[in-house]
Each structure stands twice: as structure tokens, then as C-alpha cells.
Amino acid sequence: MNHPDIHGYVHAARTAELRAQARAHRLRRTARADRPAHPTTSVRNRLGWLLIETGLRFLRPPTVPRPVEH
């Protein structure tokens, strides 16, 4: 029998993995800032990571609590 919160635990673990990957990518990007990259690859990578970072922002809980509707 599955634990009722297992989906939440798996989701939290995957979120942590994606955040770690995004952090590592940012570190690599700053380390490579002095080298010119291939223009197509550069745009493609930046767009992909921008989408990942935007998705991670959607996963964060809101900073302002939402009103409870009854």
C-alpha cells in the first residue's frame, strides 16, 4: 500500500534535483562567460534553462497567502 504523501516526497526530490542542475548550469555558464559559444547552441541552451527556471518558480509556494474560500 502506498503512503498517501509519496507523491509529495517524489515531487520534492525531483524539484531539488532540478534546482541543483540549474545551479550547476549557472556556475558553468559564469565560468565560460569569457569564451564565445556557438550562437545557435547558446540561444537554445539559454531558452531551455529559462523554461526550467520558470517552471521551478511556479513550483514554489506563493509568498503571499491566498485567501481561503469557504
- Residue 17 in any domain: the answer is yes
Is residue 55 within 8 A of residue 14, CB to CB? The reply is: no
- Residue 13 in any domain: the answer is yes
- Residue 50 in any domain: the answer is no
4-49 tens-digit pLDDT: 788 888 898 999 999 999 999 988 888 776 666 566 677 888 889 8
- Residue 30 in any domain: the answer is yes
Q: Please state, in angstroms and rounded to a whole number, the distance separating the CA atoms of residues 51 and 57.
A: 10
Domain that holds residue 30: 1-35
Q: Please state, in angstroms and rounded to a whole number, the distance separating the CA atoms of residues 64 and 30.
A: 32
pLDDT reported for residue 13: 92
pTM for the model: 0.43
